[in-house]
């Protein structure tokens, strides 16, 4: 078996950056994607074996749109180990221990069943504002809706998460550990709105809404109701201060400082700008 890396979620926020890093460094990788060749679908186990052919290590990203994503991932891991994959790097989330809900179940399974794994536990992504759930209201209404109150988060760039994933996938020996990945500064959603406004040249506000309203917004974006409630409850913990902690996982894995929100906002400004002849929702 060679060093082929399978990247799930390769068209997504972290997978896309990881794929670029693997290409830049000349490493062999395969996208596990519904539109890939061979096609891969978490909900179709008959697509798994072809994607796993010759694979040595796997970056695991669950689709946020699937409510049973993590039980499917455990079944997939059993197939992967049978096919000879050795190393697994899972994208989980900050403050979610092994054995917790969702990715916490996969984290626990890896601890119990694999001898070569790493779990990345990032805080909220900066890119949620440039390509994720908050983009459309920034463009259309100049506001960010959230139930995070004045709570603060050390937001992380998905490029930094990809750098951490790259380091874990190419480590010289098994890490068998989890790494909390955060930015180096903790800021509120009010401050996020201010920084995005400065970058794109018009005022952007933060509109405070209830947790129920936040869940409704996720359902409106097509997420299953249990996932929407789980995510909205996660955002509520930000209001309660639970995410306001800076960790050193990124530096431990990559040796680099984190991207600042200001640098991210300046680099992403075009996404939020309105072309004079474009409607705000384009």
Ligand X SMILES: NC(=O)c1ccc[n+]([C@@H]2O[C@H](COP(=O)([O-])OP(=O)(O)OC[C@H]3O[C@@H](n4cnc5c(N)ncnc54)[C@H](OP(=O)(O)O)[C@@H]3O)[C@@H](O)[C@H]2O)c1
CB of residue 173 to ligand X, shortest distance in Å: 26
CB of residue 222 to ligand X, shortest distance in Å: 11
Instruction: Tell me the residue number closest to ligand X, measured at CB.
Output: 12
192 or 277: whose CB is closer to ligand X?
192
CB of residue 235 to ligand X, shortest distance in Å: 10
CB of residue 276 to ligand X, shortest distance in Å: 30
Q: Which residues bind ligand X (CB under 6 A)?
A: 9, 11-15, 33-35, 40-43, 61-65, 91, 93, 122, 124-125, 128, 132
From residue 61, give the alpha-carbon distance in Å to each of 14, 18, 201, 213, 240: 9, 12, 34, 27, 27
63 or 143: whose CB is closer to ligand X?
63
40 or 145: whose CB is closer to ligand X?
40
CB of residue 248 to ligand X, shortest distance in Å: 18
Strands 152-153 and 187-188: antiparallel
167 or 238: whose CB is closer to ligand X?
238
44 or 278: whose CB is closer to ligand X?
44
Long-range pairs of 67-71 with CB within 8 A, sequence gap ≥ 24: 67/224, 67/226, 67/227, 69/42, 69/102, 70/102, 70/103, 70/105, 70/106, 71/105
């Amino acid at each position: 078996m060679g060093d082929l890396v399978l990247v799930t979620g390769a068209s997504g926020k972290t997978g896309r950056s990881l794929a670029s890093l693997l290409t830049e460094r000349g490493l062999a990788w395969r996208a596990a994607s519904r539109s890939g060749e061979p096609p891969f679908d978490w909900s179709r186990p008959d697509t798994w074996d072809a994607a796993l052919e010759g694979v040595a290590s796997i970056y695991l990203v669950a689709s946020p749109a699937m409510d049973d994503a993590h039980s499917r991932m455990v079944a997939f891991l059993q197939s992967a180990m049978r096919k000879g994959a050795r190393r697994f790097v899972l994208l989980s989330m900050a403050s979610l221990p092994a054995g917790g809900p969702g990715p916490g179940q996969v984290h626990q399974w890896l601890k119990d069943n694999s001898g070569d794994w790493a779990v990345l536990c990032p805080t909220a992504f900066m890119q949620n504002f440039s390509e994720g759930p908050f983009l459309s209201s920034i463009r259309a209404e100049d506001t960010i809706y959230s139930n995070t109150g004045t709570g603060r988060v050390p937001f992380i760039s998905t490029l930094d998460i990809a750098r951490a994933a790259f380091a874990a996938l190419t480590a010289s020996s098994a890490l068998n550990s989890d790494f909390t990945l955060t930015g180096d500064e903790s800021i509120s959603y009010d401050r996020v709105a201010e920084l995005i406004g400065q970058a794109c040249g018009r005022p952007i506000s933060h509109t405070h809404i209830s947790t129920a309203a936040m869940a409704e917004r996720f359902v409106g974006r097509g997420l299953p109701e249990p996932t929407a409630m789980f995510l909205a409850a996660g955002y509520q913990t930000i209001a309660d201060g639970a995410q306001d902690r800076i960790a050193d996982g990124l530096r431990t894995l990559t040796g680099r400082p984190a991207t600042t929100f200001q640098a991210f906002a300046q680099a992403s400004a075009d996404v939020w700008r309105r072309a004079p002849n474009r409607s705000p929702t384009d």
